[in-house]
A and B are shown apart, each in its own frame.
Chain A
């Protein structure tokens, strides 16, 4: 007969006892996103390209040691050689240095305008979602009115009114761009406020500050980062178009758009004047676009197909 010893009542699989123990290291959302981004080689490459472009825009203008500001008609339209690496323009200025200086301005405008757009849009959208009711309706109507004119036209009018210069240009580029951010933030906050985990959180006694800090901001932040990354190429486009049309910047200030405009005038005889700014602009936008796509995949795995 079998005796009833304790040994016979032991579980066959001991490891089931610690099934609910966290074995793997705890990875935060941002660590996870960074891990996913690291897997995307193309995005990393574009990030490297952007860093190189950024560094070059800082040190590039001084690199060849040639003047790019004063006019020296004796050496105008030189072909590329060892002194002037990309030749000189129609006023005898070193094209290599000008290229990086123009890039610096384009990057500067794009990042500042994108930051402003995001900040304004977030505040506006959050206020709309928070106050709701009549205020929401009125603020939404303002957004709709702004959206019923093509944004470049609004930008043009603002520039006509304010005149040319750095600050008017920045202001004009931001004036319509923020509406999309505002709508997105409003929609996201309204959606989150109805979500169950936030209800659960407040039911468990979380204060408003805690809900905002722990749930609303983290869940909106990735969208905002994405919004900023995707808007930078658009702002670069707009700035280029405005500078190309000769609206926005006051000479001697110049950007890639100004160089393109000068390039178009010289393109029949000196194609390099058009080609180099074009290539640089495409490279810049391409890098921003690929990085933006990579960020989208990394920040929101649900969006991946």
Chain B
């Protein structure tokens, strides 16, 4: 087990190194970066000084070595071009809690509600409830979260139906708990697709284990329906649910890119998009690496969870 994790961690490092390198060279291929437009009106001597300060007068390879050195020594990709003096790490401290809270709320609501609905649909298969959940899930899957967030913002905020604020996010003491009225709409907007996805997945995977022989055995030996579902069906149907966890996290991260924009939430997603739009290369580079790290770690955790949830799978046991 420990050997396996160490091997995976090493592989992760290689992957991350490849990502950083690829992103660096891709971004340095941009002809005009944020710097050129920023200093366009300054006198020539100042221009060269600023270019020197950011190191853009050097060849790409040298810049790459400097960046990597800075990354290893200081753990940072350098100052923002658009907002001088700011680094990614500095912003991370302020913006990460916002995104984490939003993500946790979305995952909690989306996954629990989805699994519950899926269990109901599987238990009462063929009934009206089942059909209702099926149709509802189909509609939710087909409504882009972007459209859901926009419609929620239009029709549920600012007094039409509910008195919720249109945009904003709790600050200060209320950063983690409290200020719920701000977080309700973004949470619902982001979790709709997960509710739909998890309810469909749970239903299919539960139906699969309901038709297995161990369920028949459990029924034959006289267990109550509740015991069968609790001890045999649900446990076995959780395996496919665990496997889609990384895609959920990736989905949350991508979702935060535009949900934070729609609701003006000061989180990582909006920050990253602003950096992308402003072509602020150090920040884009750092942001990309940050997202890659999260995804890679999630993948590792999923693989380990696999072994815990399903003892039949022996991880690290070679091919």
- Could you list 18 A-B pairs, sorted by A, with CB under 8 Å? A144-B15, A148-B19, A148-B299, A150-B251, A151-B250, A152-B257, A153-B291, A156-B257, A237-B144, A241-B146, A246-B277, A247-B277, A260-B150, A267-B150, A271-B154, A274-B150, A282-B142, A286-B142
- The answer to whether B19 and A145 have CB atoms under 8 Å apart is yes
Q: Are B26 and A149 in contact (CB under 8 A)?
A: no
CA distance A145 to B11 in the complex (A): 10
Q: Judge if A59 is at the interface, Cβ distance under 8 Å.
A: no
A150-B250, A160-B276, A161-B27 given; name 8 further pairs at CB < 8 Å: A145-B15, A148-B19, A150-B291, A247-B277, A264-B153, A278-B150, A286-B142, A290-B138
A148 touches B150 (CB 8 A): no
Closest to A257 in B: B146
Q: Which of A161, A263, A289 contacts B150 (CB 8 A)?
A: A263
A305 at the B interface (CB under 8 A):
yes
Question: In the complex the two chains form, is A149's CB within 8 Å of B150's CB?
Answer: no
- Cα A158 to Cα B22 in complex, Å, equals 11
Q: How far is the CA of A144 from the CA of B296 in the complex (A)?
A: 10
Neighbouring A residues of B16 by C-beta, 8 Å: 148
State which residues 243-263 of A face B: CB under 8 Å. 244-247, 257, 260, 263
Interface residues in A176-234 (C-beta closer than 8 Å to B): 233
- A-facing mask of B1-42, CB < 8 A → 1, else 0? 000000000000001101100110011011000000000000
- Using Cβ atoms and an 8 Å threshold, which residues of chain B touch A152? 254, 257
Contact A289 B146 (CB under 8 A): no
Identity of the chain B residue whose Cβ is nearest the Cβ of A263 in the assembled complex: B150
Would B257 and A241 count as touching, CB distance under 8 A?
A: yes
B253: interface (CB < 8 Å):
yes
Nearest CB in chain A to that of B258: its residue: A241
Mark out the residues of chain B between 146 and 189 whose CB falls within 8 Å of any chain A CB in the assembled complex.
146-147, 150-151, 153-154
**B150 near A264: Cβ-Cβ < 8 Å:** yes
Q: Is B102 an interface residue (CB 8 A)?
A: no
Chain A residues within CB distance 8 Å of chain B? 144-145, 148-153, 156-158, 160-161, 233, 236-237, 240-241, 244-247, 257, 260, 263-264, 267, 271, 274, 278, 281-282, 285-286, 288-290, 293, 305
**Residue contact B253 to A160, C-beta cutoff 8 Å:** no
Max count, chain A CB within 10 A of own CB: residue among B18, B150, B295: B150
Question: Which secondary structure dominates chain A's binding surface?
Answer: helix
**Is there a chain A Cβ closer than 8 Å to B48's Cβ?**
no
Q: Which residues of B contact A274 (CB under 8 A)?
A: 150-151, 154
Cβ contact of B23, chosen from A157, A236, A289, A290, cutoff 8 A: A157
Closest to B289 in A: A149
B144 x A149 contact (CB < 8 A): no
Select the residue from A145, A257, A281 with max chain B CB neighbours within 10 A: A145
Complex: A103 Cα to B18 Cα, angstroms: 38
- Overall SS of chain B's interface: helix
B209 at the interface (CB under 8 A from A): no
Q: Write out the residue numbers on chain B whose beta carbons fall within 8 Å of the beta carbon of A305.
A: 204, 207-208
**Cβ distance B265 to chain A, nearest Cβ, rounded Å:** 14
Contact check, B276 vs A156: say whether CB atoms are below 8 A apart: yes
Residues A233 and B254 in contact, CB atoms below 8 Å apart: no
Q: How distant is the Cα of A148 from the Cα of B290 in the complex, in angstroms?
A: 11
| Cα–Cα distance between A191 and B158 once the two chains are bound (Å) | 56
Whether B273 is near chain A, meaning CB under 8 Å from some CB there, is: yes
- Collect the chain B residues with CB atoms within 8 Å of residue A148's CB: 15-16, 19, 292, 295-296, 299
Chain A nearest CB, measured from B194 CB (Å): 14
Q: Closest approach, in angstroms, between the C-beta of B27 and any C-beta of chain A?
A: 7
Contacts of A240 in B (CB 8 A): 144, 146
Q: Is B288 an interface residue (CB 8 A)?
A: yes
Distance A158 CA – B23 CA, assembled complex (angstroms): 9
**Which residues of A have CB within 8 Å of B95?**
none
- B296: chain A residues at CB < 8 Å are 148
Q: How far is the CB of B237 from chain A (nearest CB, A)?
A: 13
Interface string of B273-288 (1 = CB under 8 A from A): 1001101000010011
Chain B residues closer than 8 Å to A290, beta-carbon distance: 138
Q: Knowing A144-B15, A149-B291, A245-B257 are in contact, say whether A286-B27 is a contact too (CB < 8 A).
A: no
**Nearest-Cβ distance from residue A286 to partner chain B, whole angstroms:** 4
Cβ of B27 and Cβ of A289 under 8 Å apart? Answer: no
Residue among A148, A260, A264, A285 facing the most chain B CB atoms (10 A cut-off): A148
Is B141 positioned at the interface, with any CB of A under 8 Å from its CB?
Answer: yes
On chain A, the residues within 8 Å of B146 by CB distance are 237, 240-241, 244, 257, 260
Taking CB as reference atom, which chain A residue is nearest B151? Answer: A278
B19 touches A278 (CB 8 A): no
| Complex Cα spacing A260 to B26, Å | 30
Q: Which A residue's beta carbon lies closest to that of B154?
A: A267
A244 to B208 CA separation, bound complex (whole angstroms):
40
B261/A245 in contact, CB under 8 A: yes
- Closest residue of B by beta carbon distance from A158: B26
